[in-house]
Structure 1
Amino acid sequence: MTDPIADFLTRIRNAVKANHKVVEIPGSKIKEAITKILHEQGYILSYKFVQDGFRSTIKIALKYHPETRISAIKGLKRVSRPGLRQYAGVESMPRVLNGLGVAIVSTSHGVMTDKEARAQKVGGEVICYVY
């Protein structure tokens, strides 16, 4: 697998389309950081990191509207990829859907949202958009 973050986003996207309640994804530190941001921003219901010896997995409980069964995640888009990295400074930090969505950014201070990066005045690699 050449792009594990794209695989992570695709597994979530496919689980949302199939109306699954839980999705299991192979774990890594960057995926754990992205999962924490998704939970803090209210896009997923809960998550659990499971360590099986040297292998780790992430179990994510997806969030749906109780009556209409519409997912909280409308779209996930991978921005920076191994073949073409996308970086943004503080002044050129992207706004997703005019502030309604979230851009997840990998900075020198860790993985954070675009709003946190603007507040801390740091730029970095734009990993993905979530809306």
Structure 2
Amino acid sequence: MVDKVADAINTIKTNERIGRVECDVPSNKLIKSILEILKSNNYIEGFEEFSVRYKKFLKIKLSNKINGIGVIKPRFTVSKSNMTKYEEMYIPSKDFGMLVISTTEGLLTNKEARAKNIGGSLIMYIY
């Protein structure tokens, strides 16, 4: 497990495709922030943290609303002026899906970053 975010996103994608209702991923601060964004945009129903011995995990309740999800590698740096280029590259339609961007104000969606007029590093896409 080199990239924990990529492993978590891959677990979510796999379990969505086979129709499961929930899945477990290892817990860390970045993954929790990503799941908060997914929950606020209704891509997942919710999540809760639990621990097995000394390791923490997240139990994610899936809603089967994800058509495509993936991690963007390498983590491109996006300015506010060239965000449209990456939206066209990773999102199939203008109002269908979103990019998650790591900014100085935390993780934001592409719409929030555009509204705040800031850029950052691309983390993932979802639609």
Normalising by the residue count of structure 1, what TM-score does the alignment of the two structures yield? 0.85
More helix by share: 2
- What's the offset of the Cα at 1:54? 4.7
- What's the offset of the Cα at 1:99? 2.5
Q: Which amino acid aligns with 1:73?
A: I
- What's the offset of the Cα at 1:52? 5.3
Instruction: Choose the corresponding residue for 1:85, options 62, 65, 75.
Output: 75
- What's the offset of the Cα at 1:57? 1.1
Instruction: Choose the corresponding residue for 1:120, options 116, 119, 122.
Output: 116
User: Counterparts in 2 of 1:1-131, with a 5 A limit?
Assistant: 1-51=1-51, 54-63=54-63, 71-79=64-72, 81=73, 84-93=74-83, 94-95=86-87, 96=91, 97-131=93-127
Does the CA-based 8 Å contact 2:10-2:70 persist in structure 1? no
Identity, % of aligned positions? 28
Cα distance between partner residues in 1 of 2:30 and 2:19: 25
Cα distance between partner residues in 2 of 1:47 and 1:11: 14
Please, what is the CA RMSD of the aligned residues? 1.4
Normalising by the residue count of structure 2, what TM-score does the alignment of the two structures yield? 0.88
Equivalences, count: 121
Cα distance between partner residues in 1 of 2:114 and 2:66: 23
- What's the offset of the Cα at 1:41? 0.4
Cα distance between partner residues in 1 of 2:75 and 2:48: 29
Q: Structure 2: 5+ residue runs without aligned partners?
A: none
